[in-house]
Amino acid sequence: MISLRPILVSKYNQPYSSKTLITCHVKPSKEMPQKLLHSNISRRVGVLATMTPLLLIREETACGLDLRMVAPEQTLEEAESGVENHAKALLQVRDLIESKSWREAQKQLRKSSSLLKQDIYTIIQGKPGSERPPLRKLYSNLFNNVTKLDYAARDEDASRVWQCYDSIVLALNDILSKL
């Protein structure tokens, strides 16, 4: 039988440390796997029991998680210098499309587009707030076409691949001219 007994320690109740302690007592038995399967512990309680110490121990974190898409050490200057090379790498997928190497085209497309996506997003974040919405729309249009091209290459639909590639070229020229 499993029993979880959280012991919350606050600034008013500090027996040994200022961190939250959670203990788990397990009685060994032969039927333990079945009892674990039929346990009354919900997922929510289990997640709370495991995540609470992680969230409470870090005192310097104000928001919890940092969900930005900017590369950790990437500066605006690095993004601006890399965007041209990554755009050229994205357009080099054309050679693989012409040879109908669909899997290799998908791999190259995913690699180059992820780097380009990171660069463009960093540049957009560096722009003033009034300039961001139109750039985000162009950004969305470009990478929606990249996704469509990926799906078309997976389906080996040559006409749709070329249609998506042409849309990518137009969208890429459009967004690079405005950055």
Say if 71 falls within a structural domain.
no
Question: Residue 26: beta bridge partners?
Answer: 2
**Whether 97 and 148 share a structural domain:** yes
49 part of a folded domain: yes
Is the pTM higher than 0.75? The answer reads no
Residues 18-67: tens digit of each pLDDT: 444 445 555 555 555 555 555 556 667 777 777 766 666 654 444 444 44
120 and 46 housed in the same domain: no
The CATH number that applies at residue 151 is: 1.20.120.290
121 lies in the same domain as 164:
yes
**Full domain range(s) for residue 30:** 2-57
Tell whether 86 and 150 lie within a shared domain. Answer: yes
Q: Provide the pLDDT for residue 41.
A: 62
Tell me what pLDDT residue 134 has. 94
123-142 tens-digit pLDDT: 998 899 999 999 999 999 99
Same domain, 50 and 120: no
On whether the CB atoms of residues 96 and 111 are closer than 8 A, the answer is no
Tell me the pLDDT band of 7, cut-offs 50, 70 and 90.
low
Residue 70 placed within a domain: no
Tens of pLDDT, residues 80-90: 888 999 999 99
**Virtual torsion, Cα 9, 11, 13, 18, nearest 10 deg:** 40
* Residues 125 and 154 placed together within one structural domain of the fold: yes
User: How many domains does the structure of the chain reveal?
Assistant: 2
Residue with tokens 């469509």: 148
